Chains A and B, each alone.
Chain A
Amino acid sequence: MSNMMEIKNLKAKIGDKTILNGLNLNLEKGKVHAIMGPNGAGKSTLSKAIVGHYDIEVLDGEIIYKGENIIEQEPEERALDGVFLSFQHPVEVPGVNNAYFLRTAVNAKRRHEGKEELNAAQFLREMKKYIETLGMKPDMISRSLNEGFSGGEKKRNEILQMQMLSPDMIVLDEIDSGLDIDALKAVSEGINSMKDGERSFLVITHYSRILDYIKPDYIHVLKDGKIVKTGGPELVAQLESEGYESLGEV
């Protein structure tokens, strides 16, 4: 078995509140892992811990990515090495042109990988493909980053970034929340197109609908800051009918 990421006994707090209580999770190469769980359980906290968010203070445990503990690494180091988070609430950055931002990010990663940078024309050609398949309005790319974007537009923009950056460990925090039916389909197709047998996905969601599209290999239930149950796709139906109440009394 080969893991992209191993999270071992992770304990983390925000402010003076401990949110993650010794969480263990292996994310296998080439697999899609889904995490479900009640509101406030710590799902977003886990995703932020993975990318090194400043709110999170790690008290104990390890996050091993490609064989290396990344707990001490700066956010940009993790990003350049291929860890990507689609935020539950992407922030607006007025004045920063969306395409300019994305090209800067893409070229930073290419430089890091020793590849040649994309010039404006190459970049635009590449991006155009994705914009069309995502059904994004062409003007969104010339607007300020996320500024005034609708909820669904922000989510599509996250997927566009994911596709352009082609990361190895992809964490999607509620990518499906607030999407209309067409958007959900387009976003799911975007995710599916990234599956290559190597990349790993961690999909945080409350709904089975997106899982019908992207067909996860594993379902994990996160409750009270721990993974309390792991199963195959069949677990979704059980959770939908029984809820989280019965699970993981700790």
Chain B
Amino acid sequence: MPQKELDKVVSGDYALGFEIDIEQDTVEPGLDENTIRFISAKKNEPSWMTDQRLKAFEKWKKMTEPHWGHLDYTPIDYQSISYFSAPKSAPDSLDEVDPKIIEAYKKLGIPLEEQKQLQGIAVDAVIDSVSVKTTYSEELSKHGVIFCSISDAIRDYPELVKKYMFSVVPVTDNFFTALNSAVFTDGTFVYIPKGVRCPMELSTYFRINALNTGQFERTIVIADEGSYVSYNEGCSAPMRDDNQLHAAVVELIAMKDAEIKYSTIQNWYPGDEEGKGGIYNFVTKRGICEGENSKISWTQVETGSSITWKYPSCILKGDNSVGEFYSVAVTTLAQQADTGTKMIHIGKNTKSTIISKGISAMKGQNTYRGLVKIAAGATGARNYSECDSLLIGDKCGAHTFPYLESKDSVGQVEHEATTSKISDEQLFYLRQRGIGEEDAVSMIVHGFCKDVFRQLPMEYAVEAKALLNLTLEGSVG
């Protein structure tokens, strides 16, 4: 009996599955040199960028898709994907943004009119292949902060882009980064100058809208010496029977005494109970703590996608630098996630913390895969890892693969892992005290995730909690 009720709780409807009814320019599916020239031309890119793309494409053609993840999915046909889609007529000001887009973003809970926004959050709104609107750019520029689409950055700040793009995630890092390097369409560029504490939260909202298109965005965040920035990203997609590919690359650079806090709420369409439809999410995110005392902190709440393959990582190069990874990954329906992090300790006295919470329900499969590497010379390096799995029902699975490479016996590494089940006995106890079953499940799940939610900026913590409830909704009847 409890099992059936639980399944109901954990199969909440996907509320963001609508389609924005706008006219879009979408290229025919297929990928060759011409596609890449077309994308580059659409974006009015300088020739150095076009050449970079073509080189990446040559390399990608020689690479093969990795299959070491604990994931099972129908093969991706790269020739059946459309690599560029944009709402017709890219706008210059909000007045020119199609009202349907403004309406759609409102439905997603993200008003694009600056005066209506949650105070102090600047947004870059990306639909399919282009950024449709970046808010508060002017206000931010007063502080010397650059917050714009990557396409604008390539045109307006070529020196910064040349210096940092591909510097943390090289083109050939893996199959998907090479593909992204060839066909990336948009994304966000952030630069915080020396000594500036970014005066507001920055965020990007990614929306896949067009049919059969892939989304390949690139994000770069540079925090110069002594600066601080908190950056957030969210995403969603319509409900479709076909799978859609999302292969993004994110690069973070933190200089001496700088701190970057990067939070993600990932809510791509997860597909249905049978595993039909949903987003294939193959993402490479990596940050480098370049200078002394720098800090990079990744927080992710992953509730969507049918397939997730993602390992936000930190290269701790500067002495005394700090890397953190806080993650909640939920797999319900037939979702599969293979996610975790890499902490590479190079500098002395570097410190990393990994807190991973995996929740599996229904037929969901959740894998934690993490690497802690302590290079020779990284004396005084320390890592603490905690990987907990929570199972709801008995058709789901949790797997943990922690890897440790240590060249330095001085390093101190601590790893804890637990797997627990929401037991019938626990649910009954709460129900005997008058708490309904759905609330009881949610209470236990939230308790399980609280160390991660605590890391999110307040506005987003509220959203993450609501999202988690929605994802696990209907379990009780």
Residues of A within 8 A of B (CB): 51, 53-54, 74-76, 79-80, 84-85, 87, 90-91, 93-97, 100-102, 104-105, 108-109, 112, 144, 161, 165
8 additional contacts (CB under 8 A) given A91-B423, A94-B447: A54-B424, A75-B431, A76-B435, A95-B444, A95-B450, A101-B433, A102-B433, A165-B433
Least CB distance from B200 to A in Å reads 30
- Cα distance A90–B439 in the bound complex, in angstroms: 19
Answer yes or no: B211 CB below 8 A from chain A CBs. no
Instruction: Return chain B residues, CB-CB under 8 Å to A79.
Output: 431-434
Answer yes or no: B170 CB below 8 A from chain A CBs. no
Cβ-neighbour of A105 out of B2, B435, B448, B450 (below 8 A): B435
Given A96-B443, A96-B447, check contact A105 B426 (CB 8 Å): no
Q: Are A94 and B434 within 8 A (Cβ)? A: no
Instruction: Return chain A residues, CB-CB under 8 Å to B2.
Output: 54
- Cα distance A184–B436 in the bound complex, in angstroms: 32
Interface residue tally on B, bucketed by range: 20 to 34
Q: Which residue of A lies closest to B433 (CB)?
A: A105
Given A97-B447, A105-B434, check contact A54 B429 (CB 8 Å): no
Answer yes or no: B420 CB below 8 A from chain A CBs. yes
- Cα distance A79–B1 in the bound complex, in angstroms: 19
Residues of B429-459 at the interface with A, using a CB-CB cut-off of 8 Å, are 429-437, 439, 443-444, 446-448, 450
Cβ-neighbour of B432 out of A51, A94, A95, A102 (below 8 A): A51
Least CB distance from A72 to B in Å reads 13
- Cα distance A189–B172 in the bound complex, in angstroms: 72
Q: Which residue of B lies closest to A96 (CB)?
A: B447
Q: Are A108 and B429 within 8 A (Cβ)? A: no
- Cα distance A84–B431 in the bound complex, in angstroms: 11
- Cα distance A90–B430 in the bound complex, in angstroms: 11
1/0 contact string of B393-430 vs chain A (CB within 8 Å): 00000000000000000000000000010011110111
Q: Are A93 and B428 within 8 A (Cβ)? A: no
- Cα distance A112–B431 in the bound complex, in angstroms: 14
- Cα distance A87–B432 in the bound complex, in angstroms: 10
Q: Which residue of A lies closest to B449 (CB)?
A: A95
Q: Which residue of A lies closest to B448 (CB)?
A: A95
Q: Are B434 and A96 within 8 A (Cβ)? A: no
Chain B facing A: main interface SS:
helix
Q: Which residue of B lies closest to A89 (CB)?
A: B425
Cβ-neighbour of A93 out of B429, B434, B439 (below 8 A): B429
- Cα distance A235–B434 in the bound complex, in angstroms: 36
Cβ-neighbour of A53 out of B428, B446, B448 (below 8 A): B428
Q: Which residue of B lies closest to A82 (CB)?
A: B434
Given A94-B447, A96-B447, A104-B439, check contact A85 B432 (CB 8 Å): yes
Least CB distance from B446 to A in Å reads 8
Q: Which residue of A lies closest to B429 (CB)?
A: A91
- Cα distance A161–B432 in the bound complex, in angstroms: 11
Q: Are A109 and B425 within 8 A (Cβ)? A: no
Given A93-B429, A93-B447, A144-B447, check contact A54 B1 (CB 8 Å): yes
Q: Which residue of B lies closest to A86 (CB)?
A: B432
**Interchain residue pairs with CB less than 8 A apart (9):** A76-B432, A79-B431, A87-B429, A94-B420, A95-B447, A97-B447, A105-B434, A108-B433, A112-B434
- Cα distance A79–B429 in the bound complex, in angstroms: 11
Instruction: Return chain B residues, CB-CB under 8 Å to A87.
Output: 429, 432
Instruction: Return chain A residues, CB-CB under 8 Å to B436.
Output: 76, 108
- Cα distance A165–B432 in the bound complex, in angstroms: 11
Given A54-B2, A93-B444, check contact A76 B450 (CB 8 Å): no
Least CB distance from A163 to B in Å reads 13
Q: Are A90 and B429 within 8 A (Cβ)? A: yes
Residues of B296-335 at the interface with A, using a CB-CB cut-off of 8 Å, are none
- Cα distance A74–B447 in the bound complex, in angstroms: 24
Q: Are B424 and A80 within 8 A (Cβ)? A: no
Q: Are A104 and B426 within 8 A (Cβ)? A: no
Q: Are B431 and A74 within 8 A (Cβ)? A: yes
Least CB distance from A231 to B in Å reads 30
Q: Which residue of B lies closest to A109 (CB)?
A: B434
Instruction: Return chain B residues, CB-CB under 8 Å to A51.
Output: 432
Instruction: Return chain B residues, CB-CB under 8 Å to A161.
Output: 433
- Cα distance A101–B442 in the bound complex, in angstroms: 12
Given A93-B444, A165-B434, check contact A75 B428 (CB 8 Å): yes
Least CB distance from B433 to A in Å reads 4
Instruction: Return chain B residues, CB-CB under 8 Å to A53.
Output: 428
Q: Which residue of B lies closest to A104 (CB)?
A: B435
